[in-house]
Structure 1
Amino acid sequence: MNLMLVDKVVVITGPAKGMGAAVTRAFAAEGARLSLIGRDTSAIEPIAEEVRAAGGKAIVVACDLTDASQCENAVAATKEAFDGRIEILVNIAGGSGPMGKTGFETTPEEFDEIVTLNMNGCFHTIRAVLPTMIAQRYGKVVNVGGTFGMKGRAGRVAYSASKWGLRGLTKSFALEAGQYNINVNCVAPGMVDGPRFRDKVCRTMAEKLGISEAEAAERHAEEYALKRITVDADVANACLFMASDVSRQITGADLPVDGGWGAL
């Protein structure tokens, strides 16, 4: 199936590691032109160079996503580099917050930090790209949330709250932007295999229950209908779908990519 993403201008936040790198590679493989934005440009540049080496187009723009003015400047830099257009925004950047802490053990500072990153960052970037998309009468916004923002999770109060909030942003912006032919959706991964999952999530469970990290991973997989953990490519494919016109009649939706945990 041709997703018709060739030459589309895609802004990606959090493009350098894990699922972010997978999403970046997936859009590059479809022929999109990429604006990779984030605070640590030294971490982003290698993936941008990988895209360029394969014949793709990618720029790197320094941006603290919690700063609205920097997000506006990043959008301006993207438009200057790519013919004044931005067709797609994929918000991946985010943090995990405290793990294994109850709500009353979580400090106000810890709560504020993760909510600011996971919600405000997306709010700022969406606000920054919308005037361009409205003028074009075309746009796709894909926010990467999480299934803990669909069902909640003990010991992950701050993270769960931030992802529930992101769903609210997604649905409200979808209602407001739909009249301009702009789709706004949320891709919600479950646990995604990789260093964060293995070194933080599995290790925390293993230490708490006195089991191995491999056994902890197996316990997580057993919670899912498909009995397997999500991988980066699963998330990337979902983002491609939501960013393409194949999903033209879908907006304000939550798409769980979790092997059947959040929706079942």
Structure 2
Amino acid sequence: MDLGLANKVVIITGAGKGMGPEITKSFCYEGSLVSVLGRDLSALEILKEKYPEYRDSISLFSCDVTKADDCDRAVAEVVSKHGQVDVLVNVAGGTGPVGIPAWETSPEAFEEIVRLNMAGCFHMMRAVLPPMIARHYGKIVNVGGTFGMHGRAGRMAYSASKWGLRGITKSTAIEAGPHNINVNIVAPGMVDGPRFRTKVMPGMAAARGITEEQAIDEHASEYALRRISQAQDVANACMFLASDVSRQITGVDLPVDGGWAAL
């Protein structure tokens, strides 16, 4: 199926880490013109080295998503270069305190993760919506998390930030709908990758007194599909919601978690 993403102007935040590179590559593969935004341009430049075949499809823009003025400026620069913005994919985010109960979470740590995971997405949405409204077209995909759909012990601040992002997404979907703008949220569960392999699973294995492979198998057993999500799974969901194939879908949470949220 042709998703119709060729020559679409796509802004992606958080492109340099975690799921970001795979999401960026996937949009480039579809023929999109991808603008990646981040605080560290040298880290983003690595994307062009990693995917040389897409070097001409990727443009880099400096932006700290926690600063509204930065987001306004960066989006204006993208519009100046490409003439429009068709798609925004908000990937940038953080994990916040891990394994710390609510009463031991510092106000500073709480505010920091809320500012990044909630305000960062809000600032970017606020910046892209006026040019999208002017063209009566746009797709916004926010990357949340399944802990924003279920409470999680030791992850209160992160859960709060992702739960709040769901509210931002759903309310904006209602407001932007009359302007032919879709706003949705992709909620990954645990995604295989460096952090999963070098931090999460070793920690689980040590705590349970089992091997890392046993920890992975035990983790996968929590999911209906009995397998861990890959970054490409998340990228596929983002592309679907960014395309006109999903034109009648807005304001939804789409878990990409192998069925964890459903259990």
TM-score by length of 2: 0.96
Task: Label 1:138 to 1:51 Cα distance change in 2 as closer, same or farther (>3 A).
Answer: farther
Task: Give 3-state SS (helix, strand or coil) of 2:58's partner.
Answer: strand
| 2:48 equivalent to 1:48 | yes
- 8 Å CA contact 2:7–2:31 kept in 1: the answer is yes
Aligned to 1:115: 114
Aligned to 1:58: 58
1 CA distance for matches of 2:262 and 2:179?
30
2 CA distance for matches of 1:89 and 1:138?
12
| 2:220 equivalent to 1:257 | no
- 8 Å CA contact 1:221–1:228 kept in 2: the answer is yes
Task: Give 3-state SS (helix, strand or coil) of 2:178's partner.
Answer: helix
Aligned to 2:245: 246
Stretches of structure 2 lacking an aligned partner (at least 5 in a row): none
Aligned to 1:236: 235
Compute the displacement of 1:80 (Å): 1.2
Task: Label 1:49 to 1:86 Cα distance change in 2 as closer, same or farther (>3 A).
Answer: farther
Aligned to 1:226: 225
Task: Give 3-state SS (helix, strand or coil) of 1:45's partner.
Answer: helix
- 8 Å CA contact 1:28–1:51 kept in 2: the answer is no
Task: Give 3-state SS (helix, strand or coil) of 2:152's partner.
Answer: coil
1 CA distance for matches of 2:176 and 2:36?
24
Q: How many residues align?
A: 263
Task: Give 3-state SS (helix, strand or coil) of 1:22's partner.
Answer: helix
2 CA distance for matches of 1:91 and 1:49?
22
2 CA distance for matches of 1:90 and 1:19?
12
2 CA distance for matches of 1:54 and 1:175?
35
Compute the displacement of 1:51 (Å): 4.8
Deviations 1:19-49 (A, max 9, x none): 1100000000000001100111111112135
Aligned CA RMSD, in angstroms, stands at 1.3
Compute the displacement of 1:207 (Å): 3.3
- 8 Å CA contact 1:89–1:140 kept in 2: the answer is yes
Compute the displacement of 1:218 (Å): 2.0
Task: Give 3-state SS (helix, strand or coil) of 1:104's partner.
Answer: helix
Task: Label 1:156 to 1:134 Cα distance change in 2 as closer, same or farther (>3 A).
Answer: same
Identity %: 61
- 8 Å CA contact 1:51–1:58 kept in 2: the answer is no
Task: Give 3-state SS (helix, strand or coil) of 1:142's partner.
Answer: strand
Aligned to 1:174: 173
Task: Label 1:158 to 1:191 Cα distance change in 2 as closer, same or farther (>3 A).
Answer: same
- 8 Å CA contact 2:5–2:32 kept in 1: the answer is yes
Aligned to 1:136: 135
List structure 1 segments (4+ residues) > 6 angstroms apart after TM superposition: none
Matches of residues 1-264 of structure 1 in structure 2 within 5 Å? 1-51=1-51, 53-54=53-54, 56-82=56-82, 84-264=83-263
